[in-house]
Structures are given as structure tokens and as C-alpha cells.
Amino acid sequence: MKCITTTQYTLAINGGLYGCINGKRGLRQGDPISPLLFVICMEYFTRIMNLVAMQEDFAFHTKCKVLQMNHLCFANDVLMFCKGEYQAIVLMLRGLQSFSNASGLTTNAAKSNIFSASMEEQDLQNLCELTGYKRGTLPFRYLGVPISPKKLTIMDCEVLVDKMTVKIKSWGTRNLSYAGRVLLVNTVLTHIHTYWASIFVLPKKVIKSIIGVCRCFLWDGKVYSNKPQLVAWDLVCRTKRQGGLGVKDIVVWNEEAIAKYVWNIAAKTDNLWVRWVNHIYLKGRDWWQYKVPTDCSWYWRKICSYEFAGGYIQNQWLKANGVYTIKSGYDWMKGAKEDWPWRGWVWTKLNIPKHSMICWLVAHNRLMTKERVYKMGISQDSLCEICGGAEETINHLFFDCPLARRCIEDIQRWLNIGTRNLEIQGLGRRMTRKIKGKACRAVMIAALSATVYHIWRARNIAF
């Protein structure tokens, strides 16, 4: 305990070290090495609690008896549990006190709560007076997620959608391209919910609103939007190789993350939760033969309802060396799809991301050309914005329009390649077929993508 009770602080100013301040109250949060120190410290706490458990008068919580578990901690977040008997509680509190005496760390009464089930009212009141802790109600938060014996409500998950909304609003002032927004959806927004989705079965409505937020942000840069989405969400959720944008399918990902728990239970992986589930529910039985009791919790029933449906043979997962991973489950669930023929043109390394995005829309024939707008009944006519001489389809705009022809011809002359047949389905391939070497080909493709992007820009300026 000495290393955490005798802390000293020195200030580093302009490269020199100054001063020597003694930390009088032990460990502080925010100290760069405090996570490590907390771990060392809580190991001491664990040992004290193990001693408490060995006392004759101590009684475990009924659900934790077999595993002899009386506390859980993550850094400074501690849960302690025992049978609701006065004697056991006092022993536990004594353990906590001796830890405080040794380490200088005390509990914050304002942030600590007592939770009880069917204890005498008088005992409970005495206990609250003795400790100064308040009585808590479920759900409470542990490690950022709500702990509740019931099914998660939409209210519980609101914080998740709120977090996304706040993020999007903070980006709102920036003028982001499609490519920038795809990146933010794939990194920041996805990561906000994956932590929860790897722990809970999220309610369907919540998943729906999460997808809604992601979708509005992707197509319009806002939290709410009436703008039509250019490409179906299902297609967006495919990998780039398969013609999508590599956005995670939240519904499937959530299912496969929960399946990971099921797999762990079935494989009897050595971790605390699996051992606990084994003792409380399975009681040593084999998972594949297990029948769910009718009186168990909603959550357990939900977990049990998961089926790997043909994804495994004799406890061996069909992919990834027989061991189930969320990613392999996700890929398996999404199913194998054909490679998208345009992937080599759209997602080349040399392409500038915003050029890639426009090319992606062109390749899917999803760009808002006037021909499409006219069909939707928004525009009065479908004539080309630049020349006005023909219907504005993708083929016309990029390859037939006099402006586009001139651009492409100039670019071709500049790159020293000659292709007569100008139409989108074969241009990329024809342009690059004769070129040898990967780098050269990548340059050609990048030039073509840039041309497409700039023609589109010129047309939008004219619009």
C-alpha cells in the first residue's frame, strides 16, 4: 500500500521539473498512472474481501454462493453483495473500513447506494443511517450501461440516440462531403452504439431510431431530414467490395454480438459470467440440450432463443478455425455476395474520397440527375442543365454532353490514350485495359474519377 499512500507530485514546466507536493489524500482521479495504481489498489481490496468471505458469520448472496463471490470491481467502481443479514453486512462494511484505513481511499456517500430485496424495513433504515448511503432503485449505471432486472426500455436507451445527436450537432457547422460523413458514420457514430449492442439486446425501436439518425446524417448532414436517401440502406450496409459503403448493419451486428455470449456459454469458456450462468441456469447441463424454464428473466429467454442455424457442426463454428467471433458471425449472417464489378474503379487507393463517393453514386445510377428528378415529379423537364439538348441521364451528362466529351477527350489526350467508345459501362475497363502496371492503372482511374466529379460539380454550379 505504500506506493499509493505516499504519492508526490512534481510540476514539469518548460522542460524542467519543479517542486515536490505531497499528495495528502492518496490516489487522485485524473492522474496519468492512476488506472494502474487503482488496479494494484483494488487487488488489495479483493484480498480483504476474500478474508471477509471466510468469516464464520458471513453469508453470501444466494445467487453468488457457489462461486463464492462477494464483490465486483472495475477500477474504482465497486459492487459488493451479500445475504441481507445484519451480521454479514457489518462484516463487509468492516472490510471496507480497513481498506480505507490502509489506502486512504474512502467511499463517496453521495455516490453510493444500497440495493435490497425483501429485507426488513427497519434493518434497511438502520443500515442507511449507519453508512450514510442512500437507498437506490434499479436501474443504476455501472460502467456506463444501465443494470436492470427487466427488459431495457426505450427510455433507458434514449441516452444512446442523444449522444449521437449531440455529436452530429457539433459537426453541423462544418461543410462535410459525402465521403467525410461516411467516415464519421463508420467510425464515431457506429462506435457509440456498438458498446451497448455488445452487451444488450437493443429494443427494435431504438435500433430503428439509431439507423434513422445515421441515415439522415449520411444523406443530409443533419439529425432529422426529409431529403430522400439516394441509395437504399440495405445496400449502404454492404461492404465496399460488395458495392456498399461498409456501414455496419446494426440489427445483425447486435444479434451476432449476443450470439458471442451464447457461444461462450456453449463452449464453457472460462470467464466469470459464463461460470455464473452455468451454476444458476444450466447447472452443468449441455447447452445444446438445454430447455429454457418458463419462470426465467426476459433477457435470459432472449439469449436462449438465439440459434446458430447451421452455422456450426458439433460445437465447431464453420468459419475462423472453429471459434466463433462476432465478425465471422456477422459475415456468415450477411451471406456471401458477388463482388461488385465497379469496386476496382470506385475504391482505388489513389482516388480522392469525395471523387470515389460521386463515382459510387454514378456506378449505382443513383445520382440525382434531372431525368430522375423529373420522374419523381419534382422538376418541370428532364433536359440537360449544361447543353439543354437532350435528356439528362448519367450517360449523357458524363459522356455524351458536349462539355463532358471535350473534358474526356482532353484528359485522354493528356494521358495519351485513345478510346472512341464513350459509355460508362465499359469506359473504365477500356481505358485501363491497355495500360500495364498497377500504378499506371491507378492513375488512369483516379483521372477518370476526378473528371466525373468535376463534371458533376460544374453541372451543379450551373443548376
Shortest Å distance, C-beta 388 to Zn ion:
7
**Rounded-to-integer distance, Cα 34 and Cα 31, Å:** 5
Shortest Å distance, C-beta 189 to Zn ion:
38
Q: Which stretch binds Zn ion (CB under 5 A): 48-56, 225-233, 256-264, 394-402?
A: 394-402
Nearer to Zn ion, 402 or 418 (CB): 402
Closest C-alpha to 128, from 82, 119, 64: 119
Nearer to Zn ion, 7 or 393 (CB): 393
Q: Which stretch binds Zn ion (CB under 5 A): 146-154, 203-211, 215-223, 395-403?
A: 395-403
**Rounded-to-integer distance, Cα 39 and Cα 355, Å:** 49
Nearer to Zn ion, 119 or 387 (CB): 387
Exposure letters 231-252 (e unless 16+ CB within 10 A, then b): beeeebbbbeebbbbebbbbbb
Shortest Å distance, C-beta 329 to Zn ion:
49
138 close to 39: Cβ distance less than 8 angstroms: no
**Rounded-to-integer distance, Cα 312 and Cα 263, Å:** 10
Which amino acid, 427? L
262 close to 309: Cβ distance less than 8 angstroms: no
Which of 48, 164, 192, 401 is close enough to bind Zn ion by CB under 5 A? 401
Nearer to Zn ion, 386 or 407 (CB): 386
Which amino acid, 428? G
Q: Per the structure block, which three cell numbers stand in for 203?
A: 429494443
Q: Give, in degrees to the nearest 5, the angle at Cα 243 between 241 and 244.
A: 100
Residues from 349 through 388 that contact Zn ion (CB under 5 A)? 384, 386-387
Q: Which stretch binds Zn ion (CB under 5 A): 118-126, 300-308, 344-352, 398-406?
A: 398-406
Shortest Å distance, C-beta 360 to Zn ion:
22
CB neighbour list of residue 241: distance below 8 Å, 6 or more residues apart: 339, 340, 343
Shortest Å distance, C-beta 397 to Zn ion:
6
Shortest Å distance, C-beta 389 to Zn ion:
6
Q: Which stretch binds Zn ion (CB under 5 A): 8-16, 131-139, 346-354, 396-404?
A: 396-404
Exposure letters 298-325 (e unless 16+ CB within 10 A, then b): ebeeebbebebeebbeeeebebeeeebe
Nearer to Zn ion, 361 or 401 (CB): 401
The verdict on 49 binding Zn ion (CB under 5 A) reads no
For the chain, report the end-to-end CA distance as a whole number of angstroms.
72
Q: Give, in degrees to the nearest 5, the angle at Cα 71 between 104 and 271.
A: 125
Shortest Å distance, C-beta 402 to Zn ion:
7
DSSP 105: -
Nearer to Zn ion, 235 or 458 (CB): 458
246 close to 239: Cβ distance less than 8 angstroms: yes
Nearer to Zn ion, 387 or 442 (CB): 387
Shortest Å distance, C-beta 462 to Zn ion:
10
Nearer to Zn ion, 387 or 435 (CB): 387
**Rounded-to-integer distance, Cα 152 and Cα 197, Å:** 12
Shortest Å distance, C-beta 208 to Zn ion:
41
Total residues contacting Zn ion by CB under 5 A comes to 4
Nearer to Zn ion, 237 or 367 (CB): 367
Residues from 99 through 138 that contact Zn ion (CB under 5 A)? none
Closest C-alpha to 298, from 415, 121, 178, 149: 149
Count CB neighbours of 19 within 10 A.
10
Residues from 170 through 199 that contact Zn ion (CB under 5 A)? none
Residues in touch with Zn ion (CB under 5 A):
384, 386-387, 401
